[in-house]
Amino acid sequence: MTLVFSVPLLVEDIDAAARDAIHAKVTAYLKTERAKRDIVPSPEESVATSYYKNEAQVLADVDLSELEQFVLATARTFLEKALKLAPRRLEIDRSWINIFKPGAQEAQHSHDGSLLSCSYYVEAPKDCGCIVLPDPIGARRSYREFTKTVGSDALTRREIAVEPQPGRLVMFESWLPHYVQCNKSAQVRISIAMNLREAPAQVAMPRARAETTPAAAVEQAAASAPLPLAKSADAKPFLLNELLDVHTDLKLDLEAIRDTIPAVVVDDFLKHPEEARDVVGRAPAANWKHEKGGKNFVDYYDCRLRFPIRPPNSMIAAAQQIIRHVYSVDTRPSDASVDVNWFRQIHEKRADFAVPHSDMTEGVRRSFTCILYLNRREECSGGTAFFRFRKSGSLVFDEAYARATAEDSRLAETGLDYWGGGAGQSWETVGTVDMLPGRLLMFPSEYFHAAHHPQNSFYDFPRLTLAFWMVA
Residues of this chain that bind Fe ion (CB under 5 A): 359
Residue nearest to Fe ion (CB): 359
Question: Is 339 or 348 the residue whose CB approaches Fe ion more closely?
Answer: 339
CB 276 within 8 A of CB 340: no
Find the largest Cα–Cα distance for the chain. 92
CB 305 within 8 A of CB 339: yes
Q: What amino acid is encoded at 380 in this protein?
A: C
Cα gap 138→135, rounded to integer Å: 7
Closest contact distance (angstroms) between CB of 186 and Fe ion is 24
Alpha helices per DSSP H over 43-174: 58-61, 65-76
Closest contact distance (angstroms) between CB of 457 and Fe ion is 20
The neighbour count for residue 249, using CB atoms within 10 Å, is: 5
The neighbour count for residue 222, using CB atoms within 10 Å, is: 15
CB 334 within 8 A of CB 361: yes
Report the alpha-carbon angle 379-381-387, nearest 5. Answer: 145
Give me the count of residues in the chain. Answer: 472
Closest contact distance (angstroms) between CB of 109 and Fe ion is 6
Question: Is 51 or 459 the residue whose CB approaches Fe ion more closely?
Answer: 51
Which of 349, 350, 337, 268 has the alpha carbon at shortest distance from 304? 337
Question: Is 359 or 460 the residue whose CB approaches Fe ion more closely?
Answer: 359
CB 229 within 8 A of CB 398: no
Closest contact distance (angstroms) between CB of 139 and Fe ion is 23
Please state, in angstroms and as integers, the Cα–Cα distance from residue 344 to each residue in 47, 184, 283, 306, 383, following that order: 39, 47, 14, 17, 14
Question: Is 245 or 359 the residue whose CB approaches Fe ion more closely?
Answer: 359
Cα gap 190→30, rounded to integer Å: 11
> In a 3-state reduction of DSSP, which class is residue 49?
strand
> In a 3-state reduction of DSSP, which class is residue 343?
strand
CB 21 within 8 A of CB 166: no
Alpha helices per DSSP H over 283-342: 314-327
Closest contact distance (angstroms) between CB of 384 and Fe ion is 9
Question: Is 386 or 459 the residue whose CB approaches Fe ion more closely?
Answer: 386
Closest contact distance (angstroms) between CB of 352 and Fe ion is 17
Closest contact distance (angstroms) between CB of 443 and Fe ion is 10
Closest contact distance (angstroms) between CB of 388 and Fe ion is 16
Closest contact distance (angstroms) between CB of 306 and Fe ion is 15
